[in-house]
Structure 1
Amino acid sequence: MPSFEIVTHVMAPPERVFDISLDVDVHTASMAGSSEKAVGGATTGGLKLGDTVTWQARHFGVRWRMTSTISAYDRPGCFVDEQVSGPFKHWYHAHFFRHHGHGGTVMSDVIEFAAPLGPLGRVAETLVLRHYMPELIRVRNQYVKQVAEAPFTAG
């Protein structure tokens, strides 16, 4: 089963980065390139333990739907989203947030996934998904970083 980790350094406190990472509206904006939007479950605002979202997006010219749930939640250290139904045989995405010097955060995304369709799915994993999926997460994380590092007022 393919897995990968993406590490992003953000100059904002972990609590802020954690909350932004769970915001449906931020996620939607970060995935504008694939026209991703929430069409079921929690469709706006911040997610919490047990929430589900059905996402609709267009990848490779095909419209996809994936319902995921927040299966673990420990603010501000980590949360996990897992596919309940959708295009993958398996999707597990753990998000970790830890302090690093001068008020910043190291954000780590650890993802495990498996394509459906047995041997054909393994070919898709090897030829396409093992490159496409990390890039998709990098794009999302750069948007999260941009939002988190924007000036804000505490309160």
Structure 2
Amino acid sequence: MPTLKFELTLAASLDDLWAFHQDVSRALPLLSPPGSDVRIIAADLPARVGQQVKMNVRGPLGKRLNWVASIIEFEPPSRQNDSRQARFVDVQLSGPFAAWRHEHQMEETGPGTSRLIDIVTYRVPLGPLGKVADWMFVRRQLESMFRHRHAVTRKELEGGRG
């Protein structure tokens, strides 16, 4: 399965970065690219292992799709070795991918600074045809989506700084 990694360093605290991502009802629509028109149908709160988020998104060719994700790992900010870190992992229970795993790693990099690392492992459906679709456009769409997510995260947490 393909794995993509995206990294962002911010002039924002780990606690602010964590809080932003835990406010699913606000953050998820903001982080989603324009045109995907993400609508949260239901989100179990507070965030925790087992939390499910049900959403409806505009997919390829404008078709609306339901997507259900669940948190399978959840580690709030804590000191580990020489730094403070946090992470959570969500997986797709149902939706547009044959498989989807998104790990959100966060770490304090200094006073008032942090790093976000997104690691996505996925598989496009439709066997060999899906592999061609991934090569032709799915991977590029995901790269564009994470550029958007990181730009929004920077804007929201740095307030226009940087």
User: What range describes the TM-score normalised by the shorter chain of this pair?
Assistant: 0.7 to 0.9
Please, what TM-score do these two structures have when normalized by structure 1? 0.88
**8 Å CA contact retained: 1:19, 1:46:** no
Q: Which residue of 2 aligns with 1:56?
A: 56
Residues 46/139 of structure 1: CA separation in 2 closer, same or farther (3 Å cut): farther
Residues 1-155 of structure 1: matches in 2 within 5 Å?
1-24=1-24, 25-31=26-32, 33=34, 34-42=36-44, 47-60=47-60, 61-76=62-77, 77-150=86-159
Q: CA contact under 8 A between 2:67 and 2:92: conserved in structure 1? A: yes
Secondary structure at the residue paired with 1:75?
strand
Q: Distance in 1 between matches of 2:150 and 2:90?
A: 15
Matching residue's letter, 1:148: L
In 2: Cα distance, 1:150 partner to 1:133 partner: 25
* Structure 1, gaps ≥5 residues long: none
Partner SS for 1:7: strand
Q: Is the 8 A contact 2:33 2:148 kept in 1?
A: no
Corresponding pairs, count? 149
Q: Normalising by the residue count of structure 2, what TM-score does the alignment of the two structures yield? A: 0.84
How far does residue 50 in structure 1 lie from its aligned partner after superposition? 1.5
Give RMSD over aligned pairs.
1.8
